[in-house]
Structure 1
């Protein structure tokens, strides 16, 4: 088993950070095609077997790393969120335990039931109880070495109560997850979180509560999107996140650049049918200095733009490299004490204002 980068303690000088590239089992594994991306942590999900039950035998009953060209760490998600949206296809907990027991994944996620926005306190309580029952079952079947419990909560008291249950189940967890971040930030139908500021403040509170409760643990945030959100959550205290944002942006036709929102790889002033902005002169300069697996082989910015405009794979490779580089840059900034300056150059004010720097 590979050695993980551990979260810092109050006595440590370094903060090790980890980004897991979210990957669909139905999609091309771009990270396996480029030397610069091989060995990066990858995340797959059993949720794909909810929509396509044949994948249980076709894919998940066999070693996963050889199938997807994985040279580095592999995390396997239970697919809890997918099952919540498609309950008719939900996988039995025993099936999940059997897959986890035989998988070559390095970590796997306990089956959780994220609380919905329009649910009553009792409905949420029922979901927390089912999540806790699943954790107890998987703990008995698999132990704590690779299993990640997940913290949920729509209030501070709910988060605290669920943290207490995880602590009571075992004192030897190596990892703890923070769930429900994506729907919180999307702010759907929750009057208590009626604007983005309140949603971000609640996410910040959940992360800090979890980190304070598990100061020596790896704390992982699930389903994080844009680079700015990844950096924000890491600055708040998580040291591990997974994201499919790099793939989603590439599929949409856009690219990442350091400290910038996703952009179409087109110069400003050129008429396009796209709604997102094209590249400004400053962003063109950033692209000229890019050393990703695609850009570094191009002799001009025009060639870079042409490559990135040509298809999904170049954009995905570029985006993965950029977001991984941003995480490494944050890690270096923390080590050198320059994280305040770095984060102020990368984060929108609504995230930066939440940090106690």
Structure 2
């Protein structure tokens, strides 16, 4: 990945009816193990079966994610053995280790336990998938941490992987992690880029707004399903403006319709996109598939810097400038700044997130709670 620019990976469910990688220069596609297990069709995906199902040519990488976040939401722990079975049977380019993402609202003890379980599960998968480890295709996952929790992840991963992922940052970019939510994610990404010498992947956050930030920091690749999710809500992506409703669906959240100068920008982008996708305004209004293709094209354009876009919306433009500043600092200074903003205050948990955490603890975590991450790994 390094040396070839930022690599955009499009996340997709296996039952998709939209295949932008057949039309656009998409470099990779990601499917998660949760959707594979849920489909109960693993037998048809063995070997190159999943590639055939998705219509992937050999120059498009196939990434398998464990689906750790989806399992977490269901209060299910699939375990390393079940994930290893899927990873052994499906021919993919990269396999993301099973992780247990901490919530921004988790206590230090629970966060340490989840990180510990993520690390120990990677070590188990490493012993079960030795060939993939030797080929550099099993990807460990870092979660936001400082001090001992961060050092343990570095020690265990550095000698066993040449590419690592940073996970669990979606709530931070969605501003669900209290004060300075996005800044916390930014600082951790910069810190990881300085500490991790191999290739670095950002899990789930490669939106149009965040891609310029990842490129500036030097993150090698990132994945996203925003191209589909936004389309499902009747939205299209307009760099610099965010997302705008264009369908006849009721506006459920976020900014409403295009207005003012945005309309001119939209029509210019549509004209450009239509040269590749044969889309019309009417198609975008009526069709989820058309909106999804438009959004995928938009992400490709941003990833390849063909729009001259650098995070121009006001909040992200500010993050862009902060990134330039923090990248000049030493690792210890960045970590200290992250420590400061992490412990300025405790964010109160919301009921639905607290319920998920209780289910997770009941089904996944041990009943006693060692405070030290090292103790948790040895538990």
TM-score bracket for this pair, using the shorter chain length: 0.7 to 0.9
Indicate the SS of the match to 2:323: coil
Check whether the contact 2:237–2:243 (CA below 8 A) recurs between aligned residues.
Answer: yes
Q: Which residue of 1 aligns with 2:324?
A: 356
Alignment match, 1:202:
184
* Preserved contact between residue 255 and residue 319 of structure 1 (Cα < 8 Å): yes
1:223 counterpart (204, 207, 212): 204
Alignment of 1:1-357 (within 5 A): 5-6=1-2, 16-32=5-21, 34-37=22-25, 39-49=26-36, 52=38, 54-59=40-45, 63-71=49-57, 72-88=60-76, 90-143=77-130, 144=133, 145-155=136-146, 157-167=148-158, 169-170=159-160, 173-188=161-176, 193-195=177-179, 198-215=180-197, 217-224=198-205, 226-265=207-246, 273-274=250-251, 276-290=255-269, 295-296=274-275, 304-329=280-305, 342-343=309-310, 345=312, 348-356=316-324
Per-residue CA distance 1:83-111 (angstroms, 9 max, x = gap): 222234x3231221122122111001011
- Do the aligned partners of residues 223 and 183 (structure 1) sit closer, same or farther apart at CA in structure 2, a change above 3 Å counting? same
Give the alignment's Cα RMSD to 1 decimal.
Answer: 2.9
Using the TM superposition, give the Cα deviation of residue 177 of structure 1 relative to its aligned residue in structure 2, in angstroms: 0.4
Give secondary structure in 2 for the equivalent of 1:76: strand
Q: Deviations over 1:289-310 (max 9, x none)?
A: 33678623799xxx83212112
Post-superposition shift, 1:205?
A: 1.9
Corresponding position of 2:332: none
Contact 1:220 1:238 in 2 (8 A): yes
Report if aligned partners of 2:284, 2:290 keep a CA contact under 8 Å in 1: yes
CA distance in 1, matches of 2:274, 2:183: 37
The CA distance in 2 between the partners of 1:28 and 1:85, in whole Å, is 25
Provide TM-score, normalisation by structure 2.
0.74
1:307 to 1:134, Cα distance in 2 relative to 1, 3 A: same
8 Å CA contact 2:63–2:94 kept in 1: the answer is: yes
Equivalent in the alignment of 1:336: none
Contact 1:44 1:76 in 2 (8 A): yes
**Given that residues 152 and 158 in structure 1 are in contact (C-alpha distance below 8 angstroms), is that contact kept between their aligned partners in structure 2?**
no
User: Structure 1 residues 24, 60: CA separation in 2 closer, same or farther (over 3 Å shift)?
Assistant: farther
Structure 1 unmatched ranges of 5 or more? 7-13, 334-341
- Quick one: structure 1 residues 345 and 194, their matched pair in 2 at CA, closer, same or farther if it must change by over 3 Å? closer
Q: Kindly indicate whether the alpha-carbon contact (under 8 Å) linking 2:240 and 2:311 is maintained by their aligned counterparts in 1.
A: no
* Structure 1 residues 324 and 298: alpha-carbon distance in aligned structure 2, compared to 1, 3 A threshold: closer
Contact kept? 1:294, 1:307, Cα under 8 Å: no
Q: Where does residue 337 of structure 1 map in the other structure?
A: none
